[in-house]
Structure 1
Amino acid sequence: MRYDSLGSRLFGWANIAFMVLFACASIYPYINTFAVALNDGTDTMLGGITVYPRQFTLANFHSLLADDSIIRALALSVVRVVVGTALALLVQFTAAYVFANRGLYGRTTLLVYFMIPMFFGGGLIPTYLLYSKLHLLNNFLVYVLPGAFAFFNMIIIRTYLYTIPDSLVESAKMDGAGEFRILSRIILPLSMPIVATIALWTAVNNWNDWTTTLTFVTDQSLFTLQYKLMQIIKESDMAASLIQEALQRGDTTAQSRVRITPDSIRSAQVILTTLPIILVYPFLQKYFIKGALIGSVKE
């Protein structure tokens, strides 16, 4: 088959055009959200915002970051992501290394035992009682300990480890290397693609989670950024309802107070919460694609 034929070139051009259109369709909603976040709330209510703000303002972001508790929640979320991701990688990678050993006694039984909770869970009330007995309520450890082990991620890592030749490990053992040295000096450097993949998944999950705070935390000093932003959106919804009622009663002064709307606050929240992940992703992309492919298919 000739790849320089007219048909091949037409297919290539059509493929490029399709991917460009697909990329534009994927990027446009985010650009539109960014424009709404930078636009005046009252003007946004009129509609017609596309890819640029009509009345530029930073009031939407200022309303999110004006409270000192937001800065504290942001710092707590960053610490949670760093500590939670590091702990999860340590636990899951070491567990995968152990289960990758085909000579492990009772390996099948242990895998079945860890697999059962993937399909059958105790529910919220037993989980709450368990965390209470473990003194995890209103404790920072509730953010990092329950997610330290994920069976699905461990299986993905273990599948990737099967692609590493056994001869490398055998040669290291013949040279007198122990399990810890083999793991840290040989296995880990060769497993950076899957490590980056699992790190990205875990970090995004920790960054976006707010239900843990809602369910297990009442101490305001332990509120995460996502939970605080959720509270702000609810408060803005309530304020918008009150202003709408005032306008219906004929209070014209309420119109001047409608500068920040729930839609503009929600758009600013989307930008604020997704921007860190977007900035980190390009540095992990080259590892992410390879790790996701090799880690999900056993060769």
Structure 2
Amino acid sequence: MTTIPQLTLNNGVQMPALGFGVFQTPPDETRAAVAAALDAGYRHIDTAAAYGNERQVGEAVAASGADVFLETKIWISDYGYDETLHGFDKSAAKLGVDRIDLLILHQALPSEFGRTLEAYRALETLYADGKVRAIGVSNFMVEHLTALLDKATVVPAVNQIEVHPYFTQPDVQAFGAAHGILTQAWSPIGGITFYRDSGHRSTLDDPAIGGIATTHGRTPAQVMLRWHLQQGRSAIPKSTNPERIAENLDIAGFELSAEELAVLDGLDTGRRGGPEPADITLAAFGRPIPEA
């Protein structure tokens, strides 16, 4: 079985560097996808309240009997101090656990940042009470992190953001590194979401990435995941195809050169595939998260 390198978070907690994501995986496909990931050797599963599949993730993990690092996210509709504490209760019950390894805020809510701060204060309480092992954020830009750190007592362990060769967010990554916040990449291989929504071709068809892959006898996806790990990031690839799930984990045994890493860095288009963080509002994106 593949041995996944561990990353040490800023509070000393260890987390597998490569996780398995279930964004946009329908609930009825999630159990099988997570089971295939656990069979392949993944021991870190990333989900979210807004994905609607926490329960199926929990069922697959419980059925496996494996020791799994579980990460999930509070949706903006559950921001606010008491609301976020209840959001934890809903997620923990669906996952079937008493304690969550990493609990993060899914987005900043720029138009109501006070609610974002209260949500993070609730995460700090859950952390202090031992209900979560680490806390963090997702899709926070430098201005959001700056405002959060001005009020927070616990520095976020993780900021999960869109990072792939076509969109690298170097300013956000550098700010995180300077403050001990680990960058965790969603859509780490560019994914269908990016090239469908941005009008750009797929990273998987990029000739520069393909050339590096050929050099190493690897796939473009494996090269991109290797790039993340060599640069110290966590990455959360997703798939429902068991062969691809296993392939994405099989990234030991080769090393990208400094020149090859620079080639990948140089592909940045500055265009994101996900929504603009500034556009996240309750009116546009709010939706109730069901009770457990």
Shorter-chain TM-score range: under 0.3
How high is the TM-score relative to the length of structure 2? 0.24
How high is the TM-score relative to the length of structure 1? 0.24
Larger Rg over CA atoms: 1
The answer to which structure, 1 or 2, has the higher relative contact order (CA under 8 A, 6+ apart) is 1
More helix per residue: 1 or 2? 1
More strand per residue: 1 or 2? 2
